[in-house]
Copies of this chain bind each other. A is one copy, B any other.
Amino acid sequence: MPPTLDDIREAAMRIKSHAHRTPVLTSESLNRQVGTRVFLKCENFQKVGAFKFRGASNAVFALTAREADRGVATHSSGNHAQALALAARLRGVPAYIVMPDNAPKVKKEAVAGYGGQITFCEPTLEARESTLAKVVERTGATVIHPYNNERVIAGQGTAALELLEDVPELDVVIAPVGGGGLLSGTAIAAAETKKGMRIIGAEPEMADDAFRSLNTGEIVPSVNPRTIADGLLTSLGTLTFPILRERVEQIVTVSEKGIIESMKFIWERVKIVIEPSSAVAVAVLWERRIDLSNLKVGIILSGGNVDLAKLPWQS
């Protein structure tokens, strides 16, 4: 069952004392550049530097005491792993994280830094899933999927809920789409809060599986995606796909060039650090792929976790 607006409101209450209420920033130079009025919901300022903490903490704090005691588990090398580890630590329960042994050192250290208990495995999907199954068998932990999970989706929807509380006059909301957790939660929150709200997904051309899935009417897996937006490599899930199909007006794809230019512009002019996946949503306006001129456009900036040693405009 897909989450409802009430589930998202409940999630907002549940995570209130754990997650940051992130600010909404505006920029005159951005507005001028793209010809519309933009409201940036800054999940780059969220704990662990990404919206993922909302879903993870909602899932962790929604567990019964008995479930929670046995811990939570996932396989991930990205922001979800860090978010789950931190949420579990805040609840005082273990988080078991399965990671490929070739994951970057900085990501291993980040998960360990939040108290996650890491089990390494071969860098294949089979190895990750079988290793996770073994961990669960041993510990009895609850698996928290990064996006194909009702409570995770409800948690991610709290960002849009806050955005609409702060800027109720919005016409459009744009969020990036990878597995679809953020976009699903955003779509439910925005569509149910305000009738006629337009909800648009933003996706790299080089990883356009959600675009193709919505066009063909069935989940098209992401095959060999090659985009710098490394948070958007995954395919839609069985839970997120029908939500997007019902509520999202369209998925707009953007070029790698547009992602990089948007990202650089936001750093230079808005003075905030955003990751390429965040810039994908900005690039919809930057490349003027659809006409959103003179509207009030909310953008969910997914996060700000980047490797400062190699930036995409320096090649």
Residues of chain A whose beta carbon lies under 8 Å from any beta carbon of chain B:
23, 42, 44-45, 49, 264, 267-269, 271-274, 304, 308-309, 311, 313-314
Contacts and interface: CB of A to CB of B under 8 A. Distances in A.
A264 to B, nearest CB: 6
Q: How many copies does the complex hold?
A: 2
Contacts of A268: 273, 308
A273 B27 CA distance: 15
A313 B308 contact: yes
A269 B23 CA distance: 16
A264 B308 contact: yes
A267 B308 contact: yes
A268 B274 CA distance: 10
Nearest to A28: B47
B304 A309 contact: no
Contacts of A272: 271-273
Contacts of A313: 308-309
A27 to B, nearest CB: 9
A313 B273 CA distance: 16
B23 A271 contact: no
A271 B314 contact: no
B271 A271 contact: no
A271 B44 contact: yes
16 contacts: A45-B271, A49-B271, A267-B308, A268-B273, A268-B308, A271-B272, A271-B273, A271-B274, A272-B272, A272-B273, A273-B273, A308-B311, A308-B313, A309-B313, A309-B314, A314-B314
